[in-house]
Amino acid sequence: MQDNDENNSINNSSAGGLRGIAGLVSFSTILPLNIHTSIEEMARFTWFWPVIGGFIGILAGAFGFFLLNMVQIPQIIAAALIYSFMIWFNGFHHLDGLMDFGDGMMVHGTPEKKISVMRDTRIGTGGMAYFVMVALVTFAGLTSAPAALILPVIIVAEVAAKMGIVTCASFSEAFPDGTGRFFIESMNKKLLLLSLVLSSAIGFLALNLTGVIGVIGGFLGGALIATVARRNFKWATGDILGTSNEIGRMLSLILMAWILLV
């Protein structure tokens, strides 16, 4: 009887793990997986997010490779289409966070007031300005990447984007309200190290040392946003985690383009 209970416990744990990962995929993309899970169950696998980023990167990178190396359209047009695909396939979730973050950064006053503005449904000048700045630099990074390497570059960039989220969550204090707190509270330094090792391995397999440096770009992006958030908002929210995704991708592309073109 005890053995049956133990087996049932293991099976339930495995099923919960698969649901959590599948739920995180559904949460991160537009894929209609119809997974019945909870935010808490998904948040247990926050450390696994960069691997999901690798899956997203394969799809976006294959799209970029098709445009540049098979259709052979001009890279400046391909870069615009690739970036559009990336933010669309992510369901615009992280982009929305970036724009809300920009609005909050424009406010003077207490952290509570800044967070209140950040969580407002309206989009202001700060949000539009942050979107334009990050979009332009990301677009420039995609334009600068060698066409022959666009697939691995995009894989690493999407891994780095999710590494940004993981890093930001690890160095932040969760705001008491909202779904972002579950992802932040699930992280610790050991899980951050595990995530960084996994991400670096994917980066190395994709693009050797350049890929590892690209992943570090995502790590630095997440750490930067966590620092900015502590100084301006005290706490971190889901919008701030979304911002770290966009900044992590942007810094990753900058570093890889710089290395590959030198």
For the chain, the straight-line distance linking the first and the last C-alpha, in angstroms and rounded, comes to 66
The pLDDT tens digits of the residues spanning 59-105 come to 999 999 999 999 999 999 999 999 999 999 988 888 888 998 998 88
The pLDDT tens digits of the residues spanning 202-259 come to 999 999 999 999 999 999 999 999 999 999 888 899 899 999 999 999 999 999 999 9
Give residue 165's pLDDT band: very low, low, confident or very high (50, 70, 90): very high
238-261 vs 93-105: helix axis angle to the nearest 10?
100
- Contacts of 122-131 with CB under 8 Å at 24 or more apart are 123/99, 126/102, 127/98, 127/99, 127/100, 127/101, 127/102, 127/103, 128/99, 128/102, 129/102, 130/98, 130/99, 130/101, 130/102, 130/105, 131/95, 131/98, 131/99, 131/102
pTM greater than 0.95 (yes/no):
no
Residues 73 and 32 in one domain: no
Residues 88 and 182 in one domain: yes
Give residue 9's pLDDT band: very low, low, confident or very high (50, 70, 90): very low
Residues 38 and 114 in one domain: no
Number of domains observed in the structure of the chain = 2
Which secondary structure element, helix H or strand E, spans residue 218, and what is its range? helix 189-232
Rounded distance between C-alpha atoms, residue 130 and residue 41, angstroms: 32
Residues 8 and 112 in one domain: no
Asked whether residue 2 carries a pLDDT value surpassing 70, the answer given is no
Residues 80 and 7 in one domain: no
Residues 31 and 92 in one domain: no
Rounded distance between C-alpha atoms, residue 212 and residue 230, angstroms: 27
Percent of the chain with pLDDT over 90: 62
How many angstroms separate the Cα of 220 from the Cα of each of 16, 166, 224, 251, 252? 32, 11, 6, 8, 9
Structural domain span for residue 6: 1-44
Residues 119 and 225 in one domain: yes
Residues 8 and 63 in one domain: no
Residues 30 and 156 in one domain: no
Residues 123 and 110 in one domain: yes
pLDDT for the residue numbered 16: 52
The pLDDT tens digits of the residues spanning 93-147 come to 888 889 989 988 888 888 888 888 888 877 888 899 999 999 999 999 999 999 9
Any residues with CB less than 8 A from the CB of 180 and at least 6 apart, and which?
A: 174, 236, 237, 238, 239, 240, 241
Residue whose C-alpha is closest to residue 87's, from 20, 161, 185: 161
Rounded distance between C-alpha atoms, residue 159 and residue 4, angstroms: 40
Residues 30 and 59 in one domain: no
Residues 146 and 35 in one domain: no
